[in-house]
Amino acid sequence: MAELSGRLLRERVTVDKMIELYCHENHAPQGGLCAECAGLSEYAHQRLEKCVFGAEKPTCANCPVHCYRPEMRANIRAVMRYSGPRMLLHHPVLALRHLLDGRDTAPELERRGDVEEN
């Protein structure tokens, strides 16, 4: 697994917490994540590692590059919609930092047209 640091690492921790929260309260598996959410978590990690913005990454909600496959995108949106507001309650520090990160917009990307779609 690639080394993530700073904001990317924080994004990964944040997305994991959101998936965890969503899975526990909606799918209630016996410990850990259900297979579907484990797959989503894995996929989210890969996307972060391959993010074209690297350390300059905006939060995903602000990102102009839609790098998720459509079905994964639908899944992660459901997770965010459910867990986003609840993060303030369960993980206030992470949620706050994520909100602060969300004030930055994406840096200009050179036009490259080779952004991976899956």
Binding residues for Zn ion (CB under 5 A): 23, 27, 34, 37
- Tell me how far, at minimum, the Cβ of 63 lies from Zn ion, in Å: 24
- Tell me how far, at minimum, the Cβ of 79 lies from Zn ion, in Å: 9
**Beta carbon nearer to Zn ion, 34 or 106:** 34
**Beta carbon nearer to Zn ion, 9 or 35:** 35
CB-CB contact of 71 with 103 (8 Å): no
**Beta carbon nearer to Zn ion, 27 or 50:** 27
DSSP the chain: -----HHHHHHHHHHHHHHHHHHHHHT--SSS--HHHHHHHHHHHHHHHT-TTGGGPPPGGG-S---S-HHHHHHHHHHHHHHHHHHHHH-HHHHHHHHHHTTSPPPPPPP-------
**Beta carbon nearer to Zn ion, 19 or 48:** 19
- Tell me how far, at minimum, the Cβ of 23 lies from Zn ion, in Å: 3
- Tell me how far, at minimum, the Cβ of 53 lies from Zn ion, in Å: 28
